[in-house]
Structure 1
C-alpha cells in the first residue's frame, strides 16, 4: 500500500484512501478521500500539490477548539478554493475564548495507560456517543465535495482513524483492509510524534511517553468495529440511527468505489 502515501514537507501522515479492496471484488478510487495529521506546517509546494494534483476542496478538521485556537489559523484557511469544516469529536466544554476548558489529547489527565492504549477501541466509542452529528457531517462532506476531501486531527490516527473506518466500512471495504489502513499510521509514528512534541500545544501531554505507546494496534480497530456490529448491526446501522440515509450510502459509494 506504499503508493497510497503522499509525501509532503509540512505533514508526515498523509495518504489516499484509494486502492483498498471491497467485499465485492472492487477497490476504492484514488483522489476522493485523503487522511492526514495536523496540516499546520504545510508549505506552498504542499498546498499546490494538494489543491492541484489531488484536487483538494474540503478539509474535515476533527481537532478541538482548544487545538485550533492554540495552533492558530492553518495555511489552508487562506486558500479560497478550500473549505474547512471544523467537526470536533470531543464534547466542547469551553468556549472560543475559554480554551483552557477543553482537553487537547485523549489521555489528558489520565494515568490509566491500559484504559487508553490497550482498550483504545472502547475509547473510540466515545466519539460516537459525544459527537454523532459531527461524525455524520464528516461523511456527508466526503459525499458532496466538489473535489477530494481530507480528514485530519493531530496525529491522524485516532479521530481520523474512526471517521475513515466508518466511511470505508459503509461503502463495502473489506474489514481487514479497514483495519490495515488504520494500522498503517504506525509506519510514520516516529515522525508524527516528533512533530507533535515540537509544539507547545501537545508537548506537555506527550512528555515521557515512548513513541511505541502511540502505535495503532489492530485489536483497537477490531474492538471498535465489533462494538458497532454488536450494538447497531453494522456501521451503516449506527449511521442510520443518526440520520444517514440509504441514498447517502449510495452517493458515498459512487464517489469512493464508483
Structure 2
C-alpha cells in the first residue's frame, strides 16, 4: 500500500490514524501501512469495517482496555476475531479505585509522571504487548484503548523510542490526538461515562499537549535508560527488539 493511500480517519471511530511516516535512527523510516492507532472501535460503521478489513487488511487489534471499560463498551465490534486483549492495568483492580489512587499521587488528569507510573504497575504487560510486534504475521497492527491517547500513547511512544524516533516526533505524534477531543467527548457521554468538572476542566484532561509526552520520554530515559533498556529489564530479548525494528522500519 502506498503512503498516499493510507486512510487517516474513520466515520464512527474517534482518534484513528496511521503512525508515521517518521524518520528514525540509521536514516530509516517507520513503514507505511503497518501500525495504526485509535480510540474504542465499537462505534465503527460498515464503511469503517471495510476500510480496516479490506483497504488496510488489518490482522491484529491490540485492545489495552480494562474489563471495567469493556463493560461500558456496548458489545463486541465486527472485527472481534482479530482482537488481542491485554489490559496494562491488572484485572483484579477496580478501575475506579486505580484512577482515584493515581489522582491522589499525581493530581487529576494525565501527566508525565502519571505515565511513568504506568510502567511501575504495568511494565510486564507493556513488555508482553511490545513482544507481539515481533511477529510478522500480525501486521498490519492497530493499538487502541478507550480514548486512544494515554495507554495507547505511552505504548506507541515507547515503540517509537525503540525505533530511534526523534523525541520531538514522538511528542508531535501524541499531540495529534487533540484533533479528536469533540468526538471523544461524544463517545464518552454516549457510553454513560460520568465526567467530573466543568467543560473547560474536562477538555483540559482530554487534551494531548506535546510537552506531556516529551516529559514522559525524558523521564523514561532518566529513570530507565530509554524504552529499549526498560523492555530488556522486563525480559524482552535483544533479538525481539531487533525484529521489531526490522518489521516496522525500512
What is the SS of the residue equivalent to 2:33? coil
Contact 1:197 1:207 survives alignment (8 Å): no
Contact 1:105 1:205 survives alignment (8 Å): no
Query: Are 2:121 and 1:130 aligned?
Result: yes
Name structure 2 gaps, 5 residues minimum. none
What is the SS of the residue equivalent to 1:51? helix
Equivalent residues in 2 for 1:182-197, closer than 5 Å: 182-197=174-189
What is the SS of the residue equivalent to 2:133? helix
Name structure 1 gaps, 5 residues minimum. 95-100
Equivalent residues in 2 for 1:104-253, closer than 5 Å: 106=99, 110=103, 115-117=107-109, 120-146=111-137, 147-200=139-192, 202=193, 204-206=194-196, 208-210=198-200, 211-253=203-245
1:9-64 deviation line (CA, Å, top 9, x unaligned) = 12121111131121333221111111001101112221121121112111111111
User: Residues 186, 104 of structure 1: CA spacing in aligned structure 2 closer, same or farther, 3 A cutoff?
Assistant: farther
Contact 2:6 2:33 survives alignment (8 Å): no
What is the RMSD computed on CA atoms of the aligned residues? 2.6
Quote the offset at 1:157 in angstroms. Answer: 0.6
User: Residues 104, 22 of structure 1: CA spacing in aligned structure 2 closer, same or farther, 3 A cutoff?
Assistant: farther
- Aligned residues, how many? 245
Query: Are 2:95 and 1:102 aligned?
Result: yes
| TM-score when normalising by structure 2 | 0.88
Q: Indicate the residue corresponding to 1:41 in structure 2.
A: 43
1:174-224 deviation line (CA, Å, top 9, x unaligned) = 211111000111122122222212211x2x135634323321122211221
User: Residues 214, 70 of structure 1: CA spacing in aligned structure 2 closer, same or farther, 3 A cutoff?
Assistant: closer
| TM-score when normalising by structure 1 | 0.85
